[in-house]
C-alpha cells in the first residue's frame, strides 16, 4: 500500500507564526507551549487528551487575524515533559494559572479547549473569576451526572473502555509514513482533513533516539486522564461570561443531553452544532473557525460599554 509523503507545511506555518515558551515555575514536569501576539484578546487554548495545540493548527490559524494565541500543552502532551504518573486535575489547573502569571499574559483571556481541554477550561473559569472574558468549549467532556458516576466507578474496576483502548494502542512506528498508513481514516481520525492529520503526526508524535516515530503522550498517562473525568456542573453555575458550547452532530451520544443541561444551568451558554464527530474542527477546520469567529465578534460587541 502506497502512502503519500507528508509535507512539513503545517508545521512551518505553526512555528513561523508562533514562538515557544517554557515554564520555570516551581514543580515538575517542565511545561511548554506556543504563543503569538495579536490585535485582540489572547486565546488560551488547551487540547484534548493525547493531542497538543499544534494538532489544531489548521483550525487555530484562522483566529490569529483578530486574536493572540497562548497554547498550553499540559504534562506529557506535545513538547511538555511527562510525569511518572498523572499529577491530577487540581495540580494541572494550578500549573496553568502559574504559567499564565509567569508569562505575564494580559487578562482577561478567551478560554478555549477541546474535549478534556474544554472541561479543564470550565474548571479554570469557575476557580478564577475574571480570568476569561468568554469561553469556547469544543466538544467538551462534560458528562451528565449519571454517565459521570458510571465512568468514575469504572476507574476502580479498571474497566474504563477509553483507558483500556489507550493502554492497548500502538505507540511506535518505523517512520512518519508508517504512522500515516496505520492511522489515516481510522477511529478518531476518520474524516479528518489531510492537513489536520498531517498536523497530528507532526506535533503529537516525535522521533525517538533510535529514529522511530512515537506518540508524544505516553499511553499510560493518556489512560489515567481518561479515568479521571472532570465533574463540571457546579463550575458551570459559577461562570458569568459568554460561553459557546460547540459540538459535533455525530459525536458521543451524551452530548445533546449535556448541552441541554448546561443551558438550563447557565443562560450564558449558547449551543451550536456543526457536522462531524468528536474532532469536527479537524474534519472541517474552516467551518469551525468561522463559527468561533462569529461568536467572539458577537460576544465582544455585547460586552462593549454603552456610549
Place of cell 487554548: 45
pLDDT at 200: 97
Q: Parallel, antiparallel, or unpaired for β 32-36 and 68-73?
A: antiparallel
Model-level pTM? 0.92
Q: Does the pLDDT value for residue 20 go beyond 90?
A: yes
What pLDDT does 228 receive?
87
Cis ω on the peptide bond leading into residue 29 (within 30° of 0)?
A: yes
Range of lowest pLDDT (15-29, 191-205, 231-245): 15-29
Mean pLDDT value of segment 206-210: 92
User: Average pLDDT over the chain, rounded to whole?
Assistant: 91
Domains, the chain: 9-300 (3.40.50.1820)
pLDDT band at 134 (very low <50, low <70, confident <90, very high): very high
Q: Max alpha carbon distance in the chain (Å)? A: 64
Query: Model confidence over 264-299: pLDDT tens digits?
Result: 999 999 999 999 999 999 999 999 999 999 999 999
Edge-to-edge, what's the strand order for the sheet holding 243-248? Answer: 19-22, 32-36, 68-73, 42-46, 109-114, 132-138, 243-248, 269-274
- The 10 Å CB-count burial string (b at 16+, else e) for 28-61 is ebebbbbbbeeeebbbbbbbbbbbbbbbbbbbbb
- How far apart CA 155 and CA 161 sit, in angstroms, is 10
Helix (H, G, I), strand (E, B) or coil at 255: helix
- Given a cut of 90, is residue 306 above it in pLDDT? no
Amino acid at each position: 500500500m502506497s502512502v503519500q509523503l507528508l509535507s512539513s507545511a503545517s508545521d512551518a506555518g505553526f512555528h513561523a507564526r508562533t514562538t515557544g515558551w517554557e515554564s520555570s515555575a516551581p514543580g515538575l514536569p517542565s511545561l511548554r507551549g506556543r504563543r503569538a501576539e495579536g490585535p485582540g484578546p489572547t486565546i488560551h487554548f488547551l487540547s484534548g487528551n493525547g493531542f497538543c495545540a499544534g494538532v489544531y493548527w489548521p483550525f487555530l490559524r484562522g483566529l490569529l487575524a483578530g486574536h493572540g494565541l497562548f497554547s498550553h500543552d499540559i504534562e506529557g502532551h506535545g513538547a511538555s515533559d511527562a510525569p511518572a504518573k498523572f499529577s491530577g486535575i487540581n495540580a494541572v489547573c494550578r500549573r496553568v494559572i502559574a504559567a499564565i502569571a509567569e508569562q505575564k499574559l494580559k487578562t482577561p483571556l478567551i478560554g478555549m479547549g477541546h474535549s478534556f481541554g474544554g472541561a479543564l477550561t470550565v474548571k479554570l473559569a469557575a476557580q478564577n473569576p475574571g480570568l476569561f472574558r468568554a469561553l469556547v468549549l469544543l466538544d467538551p467532556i462534560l458528562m451528565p451526572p449519571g454517565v459521570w458516576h458510571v465512568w468514575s466507578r469504572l476507574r476502580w474496576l479498571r474497566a474504563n473502555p477509553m483507558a483500556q483502548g489507550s493502554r492497548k494502542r500502538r505507540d511506535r512506528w518505523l517512520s512518519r509514513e508508517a504512522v500515516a498508513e496505520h492511522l489515516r481514516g481510522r477511529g478518531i481520525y476518520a474524516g479528518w482533513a489531510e492537513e489536520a492529520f498531517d498536523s497530528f503526526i507532526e506535533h503529537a508524535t516525535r522521533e525517538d533516539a533510535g529514529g522511530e516515530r512515537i506518540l508524544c503522550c505516553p499511553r499510560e498517562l493518556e489512560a489515567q486522564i481518561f479515568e479521571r473525568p472532570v465533574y463540571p456542573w457546579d463550575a458551570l453555575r459559577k461562570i458569568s461570561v459568554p460561553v459557546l458550547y460547540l459540538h459535533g452532530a455525530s459525536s458521543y451520544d451524551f452530548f445533546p443531553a449535556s448541552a441541554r443541561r448546561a443551558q438550563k444551568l447557565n443562560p450564558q451558554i449558547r449551543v451550536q452544532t456543526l457536522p462531524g464527530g468528536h474532532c469536527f474542527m479537524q474534519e472541517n477546520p474552516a467551518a469551525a473557525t468561522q463559527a468561533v469567529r462569529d461568536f467572539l465578534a458577537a460576544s465582544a460587541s455585547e460586552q462593549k460599554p454603552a456610549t
